[in-house]
Amino acid sequence: MSPVLGIETSCDETAAAVVDDRRAILADVVRDQLDAHRDYGGVVPEIAARAHLEVVDRVVDRAMKDAGIGFDALGGVAATGGPGLIGGVIVGAMTGKAIAAAHDLPFFAVNHLEAHVLTPRLTDNVDFPYLTLLVSGGHCQFVAVEGVGRHRLLGTTVDDAAGEAFDKVGKMLGLGYPGGPAVERAAQAGDPERFELPRPLRGRAGCDFSFSGLKTAVRHAVERLPAGPLSDRDVADLCAAFQQSVADVMADRSANAIALFRDRCPDGATLAVAGGVAANRALRARIEAVAEEHGLSFVAPPARLCTDNAAMVAWTGVERLALGLADGLDFAPRPRWPLEDLAAR
């Protein structure tokens, strides 16, 4: 089967990749927009959309050159069709449609969340069904992955996503944008026991998450410190305590999710993590320990394939191409697109 070109523009990375059905990543190009958004402390949708529009053609061209093939050698074109910042999603989807139309290729509108949860099949050839913890800046959920387009949501966040909480804590502590990686770095030198922070929903039934109260608790801890700039020690200890709290919650919720998953999919043998926060090594280690404790294999894709990328989009296109599941060029990009809606597609 011929390789698939993937295009990802759902947030602040403009990415293109080429992947074949042997799981070979022939090209993987990512252009970030960190400098464009840093002064704002977060992603500005209008700026992101304009930046995608300015570079997407060059990023696709670079990917095709890296892969060493022409468009006539492709089996199809996949582009993120949602969910995401709608301006950026439109840029990528329209680019993918134009390439597909110009070269008479199948077009695949890829759900960004499905691309994340199918990544373990690209990197580790994981068999269906498996359990995935999708944890990123905008999403935090446990998903039973039963097949392409067949996903069961077992638990989700009732307020903030974990990645959003990491970024806001980083901003609160003056670590800049993006806050998540900065919090992880600072936590390495910190004492997680100095500040007592809550473990929201730990010990409760189910596998939903809540991080809003934890974020507020960090702010209160900051306010109780002596007036003036935070010391490096204060920042490191707060980061360590926050990260430890998130890890404890993740471990507790993962154990409950495994029980729910086994009830629904008794043949499932793997717990995987996906999404940008899955690149956090401390969190991965805790979740891996829970998987081993419950007799499941653990899969964590390389960090570069946890954050937003086009290889996962291309791979989802490969999966859909094999099943003959192409989309029409009239597909409408969408800002919201729950995984559960894929079954009715």
Same domain, 141 and 171: yes
Q: Return the pLDDT at 271.
A: 98
Classify 153 as helix, strand or coil. Answer: strand
Does position 143 have pLDDT exceeding 80, yes or no? yes
Same domain, 199 and 317: no
Same domain, 46 and 103: yes
Q: What percent of the chain has pLDDT above 70?
A: 99
Q: Return the pLDDT at 121.
A: 98
Q: Return the pLDDT at 173.
A: 96
Q: Confidence band (pLDDT; 50, 70, 90) for 137?
A: confident
What's the CATH code of the domain at 333? 3.30.420.40
Q: Confidence band (pLDDT; 50, 70, 90) for 25?
A: very high
Average pLDDT over residues 112-140: 95
Same domain, 165 and 42: no
Q: Confidence band (pLDDT; 50, 70, 90) for 119?
A: very high
Q: Return the pLDDT at 36.
A: 84
Same domain, 141 and 290: yes
Average pLDDT over residues 160-175: 93
Q: Return the pLDDT at 136.
A: 84
Same domain, 148 and 97: no
CB-CB contact of 324 with 82 (8 Å): no
Structural domain boundaries enclosing 96: 4-118+305-344
Tokens of 183: 């919090």
DSSP 277: G
Residue (of 228, 231, 265) closest to 143 by Cα position: 265
Same domain, 150 and 214: yes
- pLDDT, tens digit (0-9, with 9 covering 90-100), for 44-95: 999 999 999 999 999 999 999 999 999 999 999 999 999 999 999 999 999 9
- pLDDT, tens digit (0-9, with 9 covering 90-100), for 261-290: 999 999 999 999 999 899 999 999 999 999
Same domain, 69 and 184: no
Measured over all CA atoms, what is the biggest interatomic distance in the chain, rounded to whole angstroms?
66
Domain C-terminal end among 287, 302, 317: 302
Residue (of 264, 268, 278, 41) closest to 140 by Cα position: 278
For the chain, the average pLDDT equals: 95
> How far is 58 from 313, CA to CA, in rounded Å?
18
Confidence (pTM) = 0.94
- pLDDT, tens digit (0-9, with 9 covering 90-100), for 312-329: 999 999 999 999 999 999
Tokens of 107: 């077009």
Look at strands 150-156 and 270-274 and give their pairing: unpaired
Rg (CA), the chain: 20
Does position 345 have pLDDT exceeding 80, yes or no? no
Q: Confidence band (pLDDT; 50, 70, 90) for 14?
A: very high
Tokens of 257: 């999710």
Same domain, 202 and 56: no
Cα distances (angstroms) measured from residue 99 to each of 75, 94, 183, 266, 289: 12, 9, 40, 42, 44
CB-CB contact of 123 with 301 (8 Å): yes
The 150-156 sheet, strands edge to edge? 150-156, 140-147, 130-135, 270-274, 297-299
DSSP assignment string, 166-230? HHHHHHHTT--SSHHHHHHHHHTTS-TTSS----TTTTSSS--B--HHHHHHHHHHHHTSPSSSP
Q: Return the pLDDT at 344.
A: 60
Q: Cβ–Cβ contacts within 10 Å for residue 254, how many?
A: 27
Q: Return the pLDDT at 171.
A: 92
Same domain, 106 and 220: no
Same domain, 172 and 297: yes
Same domain, 27 and 111: yes
Tokens of 87: 């301006």
Q: Confidence band (pLDDT; 50, 70, 90) for 41?
A: confident
The tally of domains found in the chain comes to 2
Classify 101 as helix, strand or coil. Answer: helix
